[in-house]
Amino acid sequence: MSHNTIAINGRMDRFDGHDSVWLFGYGSLIFKADFPFLERRPAHIGGWTRRFWQGSHDHRGTETAPGRVVTLVPEDGAVCHGMAYLVTPEEFAHLDYREKNGYLRLATDIRFEDGSAAHGIVYIATHDNAAYLGPASEREIARQIAGARGPSGPNSEYLLALAEALRELGKFDPHVFEIERHLAEFRA
């Protein structure tokens, strides 16, 4: 699959006709909401784990020196915490552009802190996209992040902002916090 997913995402019609749609964010969509929203609520989705396994050529790295950003990997029983936004369908043109480097819109059940739930959309970069990098140790991921930078800024800024946002949500993510810990070694 090409790593530009705009055309594929544009054909997703699951929420056609809806006045508003819930979007679940688990990476930069937690700490960088550069789109208007009607409502924002901490939330989680089941069956997925957050991993720095997706390459970034367009935001936090370049074609020759990709950065690493998060995607979700299926895992039975796992819960991924993040932020849900209620948006109007027009926002998806901007979101599809922003998430074009391998991310596909998927329909998901989103659960809120008060126990209520809604159907919505999450952007996931699956292992068959061209920008996918896959597993590496947390130390190796930190080393790559420390050396990468793209049009949106240093890759380390993405990691640190995500770790901070998760702390603000009161959610412990061992993978993210372990990479953050290793980053200090490579920045010293």
x/- mask, ligand SIN, residues 48-77, rule CB under 6 A, reads ---------------------xx-------
Query: Which residue is associated with the tokens 């993040």?
Result: 82
We find the least distance from the C-beta atom of residue 2 to ligand SIN, in angstroms, to be 18
Q: How many Å apart are CA 134 and CA 136, to the nearest integer? A: 7
Q: Which is nearer to ligand SIN, 151 or 185 (CB)?
A: 151
Long-range contacts at 92-95 (CB < 8 A, ≥ 24 apart)? 92/9, 92/21, 92/121, 94/34, 94/35, 95/23, 95/35, 95/123
Residue 99 among the catalytic residues: yes
At residue 163, the 3 state secondary structure works out as helix
Is there a contact between 47 and 74 (Cβ–Cβ < 8 Å)?
yes
Least Å from the CB of residue 123 to ligand SIN:
5
* String of contacts with ligand SIN for each residue 89-128, x by CB under 6 A: ----------x-----------------------x-----
Q: How many CA atoms lie within 13 A of 49 on its CB side?
A: 14
Report angle CA 140, 144, 150 to the nearest 5 degrees.
Answer: 160
Catalytic site residue from 75, 90, 99, 168: 99
Which residue lies nearest ligand SIN, judged by its C-beta?
Answer: 27
Q: Of the listed pieces 24-32, 73-81, 133-141, 143-151, which binds ligand SIN according to CB under 6 A?
A: 24-32
Q: Which residues are catalytic?
A: 99
Task: List interacting residues with ligand SIN (CB under 6 A).
Answer: 25-29, 69-70, 99, 123
